[in-house]
A and B are shown apart, each in its own frame.
Chain A
Amino acid sequence: MNNAIIVDGVVKKFKTYESYSGAAGALFGRKKKIKTALDGVSFKVKRGEILAMLGRNGSGKSTLIKMLAGVLRADGGAMTVLGLDPFKDRIRLAQQIGVVFGSTHPQLFWDLPPIDTFNYIKGMYGISESAFERKLERFIDMLSLKDVYKRQTRQLSLGERMKCEFVCSNLHSPKLVLMDEPTVGVDLPSRMAIGDAVIELRKEQKTTFVITTHVVDDIANVDRIVMLDHGKLVFDGSQEEMRSMFKKSVMVELYFSDKRRIGRYAKYGKVVVSRDDYVKLEMGPEEIKRRWFTQMLNDDAVVDYRINEPSLGFMLNQMYKKIDRDGVKDGAENG
């Protein structure tokens, strides 16, 4: 079987309550509402693939991660994770997967040093002493945890804790690791260390990773991106495919010695940023071949310039804007 995950038309609904306002309202109680968290989502993840799951708050990412882990039951559609039904075969599946729930539901025992939690996981998953020693040493080295893993968890920084959470989820060499916003609020070095460890583990053990995130840097090395919005899949494809949706534009940054000249060139593109002697323009790629562009480059008032493709963060923001403009349609835009 080549697919680690098959999600087919999955639906999840939640009951929510809306309160009436005022004192009398409080006495009369609440109005029940059904919220559709996931609305017919379908996608596949190949074994050994690194998939990023993106979407705004409340888009359904965490719900989907919990469903993939067997924590929540689907109200419709079908789901297979490592060949198992995650909800029905939860215990069998749990033996083969690792899950990181960000800082919201930590696995580490707050009042004990991480090494105690690691030992607990060793017993829980039946890891042999020699394999445990070997893996632990490897992770300590990989994530620079030498001075960390024997200190009380409550005394560790968020970055240190998240690196240890990552170890907790990988000690038993799972075939699949689900990571729900593992880097929120985490400092840059820790984030990069976790990112490198993901790449390393995929290379060494063919581990499949599904990562939900809002941090643009986290998706730099992923193989594929799926994007959820309002419980629907709105994009499924590679970074390149996402770029191609916006490749109509390039970003041109210009620095002027005489800011009065800005107006002369600003009209050729859409001003994204403008301050004093600097302007950032978004324009079609054909614009840079035109005569005005060559003239501008020879203009003494233009002291420096840069031409870039839009950044990943910019593209994502454009993507959200597009969704808001066009509304959410059924199925993915791509793939």
Chain B
Amino acid sequence: MMLQSIRKNLKMFAVSQRYTWLSFLIYRGQALSWAVVWMFSTAASFVSISVIYGVSPGIAGWSYYQMLALAALSNMAIGIVSYLIRPWDLIMLMRNGVFDQFLTKPYDPIALILSRSGTRASIGGVISSLAMLAYALANQGGISMPAFMTAVLLFALGTAALTMFIVTISILSYVLFKSGNYIQWLINIAGTTSNYPLQIYSIAGTVLLTVGLPVGLAAFYPAELMFAKISYPFTLGMAALSIALIMTFYRASTYLLRFYTGGGG
């Protein structure tokens, strides 16, 4: 039953991709300029890290290429999250009542949100991050295939947890203030902070960026795993934490949708 529902929602997600891409590509200049904006964040990481490693031996025992890989994972996670949800767009859909239509469709409203309210432009960030990751890993070398595959899985779970967190606070912000400019700022800050190893932000910062704003789950721990900086049991713990957060945030966001008041009136 549950599998059938997941399949049905995935099918809807795939179908809506075609149309969201079509409407994004209709204005090519605009699409290109946004994709370039997203590439800039990868370029900014590359320049910062190159300068840091140009003048110093580096941070917390991470090599130059390891640090590039970490930044690539972080930017890729933010790119994927933004592909799935843009908080301000979702809040506007709810404020002007267009969200009414989401609730009249025979699909999970959270799946509909993820299929419709993100930005296609973030693909620019994902592609440029992938290129940076490939460059970093090729130069770093010595990564075992099982570690890499497990890291990919951990990255997927972490990114899903981060996505569900953003969905939840977006709906919560709508319920509480009918506004949410600050969430985009949170995402930007999450993106920049997670370019670097979490321990530089002290224990409090590490915990916050793991459980509070779970960007660490998407970037830091997968990178640590790839470069053999954490053990498999610890990895398992992080995977379990990601799954727990995904389920909690999914339940919370579904619950919060009860407080949607609809448009007009």
A and B touch in the complex (CB under 8 A): yes
Give residues in A with beta carbon < 8 Å to B. 19, 22-23, 26-27, 29-30
B-chain residues with CB within 8 Å of residue A30 when the two chains form the complex: 26
How many angstroms from the CA of A27 to the CA of B31 in the assembled complex?
11
Assess whether B28 is in contact with A27, with CB atoms less than 8 Å apart: yes
Q: At the interface with chain A, which of B17-25, B102-110, B215-223, B249-257?
A: B17-25
Which of B1-55 touch A at CB < 8 Å? 18, 21-22, 25-26, 28
- The residue of chain A having its C-beta at the shortest distance from the C-beta of B29 within the complex is A29
Contact: B21 with A29, CB < 8 Å? Answer: no
CB-based A-B contact count at 8 angstroms = 14
A30 to B25, CA, bound (A): 11
Contact B28 A23, beta carbon cutoff 8 Å: no
Q: List 14 A-B contacts (CB under 8 A).
A: A19-B26, A22-B22, A23-B18, A23-B21, A23-B22, A23-B25, A26-B21, A26-B22, A26-B25, A26-B26, A27-B25, A27-B28, A29-B28, A30-B26
C-alpha gap A22/B18 in the complex (Å): 10
For residue B31, give the distance in angstroms from its CB to the closest CB of chain A. Answer: 9
A22, B26: Cα distance in complex, Å: 10
Whole-angstrom CA separation of A129 from B26 in the bound complex: 53
Q: Tell me the complex Cα distance, A113–B28, Å.
A: 42
- Bound CA span A133–B25, Å: 55
Contact with A along B107-123 (1 / 0, CB 8 A): 00000000000000000
Q: Which of A19, A23, A26, A29 has the most CB of B within 10 A?
A: A26
Q: For residue B68, give the distance in angstroms from its CB to the closest CB of chain A.
A: 32
Query: Number of contacting residues on B, CB 8 A?
Result: 6
Contact residues in B for A27 (Cβ distance below 8 Å): 25, 28
Binding site secondary structure of chain A: helix
B18: shortest Cβ distance to chain A, in Å? Answer: 7
**Least Cβ distance of A248 to chain B in Å?**
45
Which residues in A have their C-beta under 8 angstroms from that of B22? Answer: 22-23, 26
B244 to chain A, nearest CB (A): 39
- The 6 residue pairs across chains A and B that have the minimum distance between CB atoms: A26-B25, A26-B22, A26-B26, A19-B26, A27-B25, A23-B22
Least CB distance, B124 to chain A, in whole angstroms = 16
Residues of chain B within 8 A (CB-CB) of A29 are: 28
- How far apart sit A183 and B26, CA to CA, in the bound complex (Å)? 36
Q: Which residue of B lies closest to A23 (CB)?
A: B22
A27, B21: Cα distance in complex, Å: 10
Bound form: Cα–Cα A19–B28 in Å: 12
Chain B, 59-85, CB within 8 A of any chain A CB? none
Kindly state the separation between the CA atoms of A250 and B90 in the bound complex, as whole angstroms: 56
Query: Least Cβ distance of A190 to chain B in Å?
Result: 20
User: Closest CB of chain A to B198's CB: distance in Å?
Assistant: 41
A103, chain B: closest CB distance, angstroms: 15
**Besides A26-B25, A27-B28, 12 other CB < 8 A contacts?**
A19-B26, A22-B22, A23-B18, A23-B21, A23-B22, A23-B25, A26-B21, A26-B22, A26-B26, A27-B25, A29-B28, A30-B26
The closest CB in chain A to the CB of B23 belongs to A26
B26 to chain A, nearest CB (A): 5
* Alpha-carbon distance A121/B30, docked complex (angstroms): 37
Give min CB distance, B261 to chain A, whole Å: 16
> Whose C-beta in chain A lies nearest to the C-beta of B28?
A29
B54 CB, min distance to chain A CBs, angstroms: 40
CB distance from B151 to the nearest CB of A (A): 34
Task: Note all chain B residues with C-beta closer than 8 A to A19.
Answer: 26
Nearest-Cβ distance from residue A31 to partner chain B, whole angstroms: 12
Query: Chain B residues near A23 (CB, 8 Å)?
Result: 18, 21-22, 25
Q: How far is the CB of A72 from chain B (nearest CB, A)?
A: 24
Q: State how many angstroms separate the Cβ of B130 from the closest Cβ of chain A.
A: 22
Q: Among B18, B21, B26, find the residue whose CB has the most chain A CB atoms closer than 10 A.
A: B26
Once the chains are docked, how many angstroms separate the CA of A191 from the CA of B20? 42
Chain B residue nearest in CB terms to A20: B26
Please give, as numbers and ranges, the residues of chain A lying within 8 Å of B25 by CB-CB distance.
23, 26-27
Q: Which residues of A contact B18 (CB under 8 A)?
A: 23
Q: Could you say which residues of chain A place their CB within 8 Å of the CB of B28?
A: 27, 29
Chain B stretch 236-251: residues in CB contact (< 8 A) with chain A: none
Q: Which residue of B lies closest to A30 (CB)?
A: B26
What A residues does B26 contact at CB under 8 A?
Answer: 19, 26, 30
What is the distance, in angstroms, from B215's C-beta to the closest C-beta of chain A? Answer: 33
A220 to B200, CA, bound (A): 75
- Please, how many angstroms separate the alpha-carbon atoms of A30 and B21 in the complex? 16
Closest CB-CB distance, A163 to chain B, in whole Å? 22
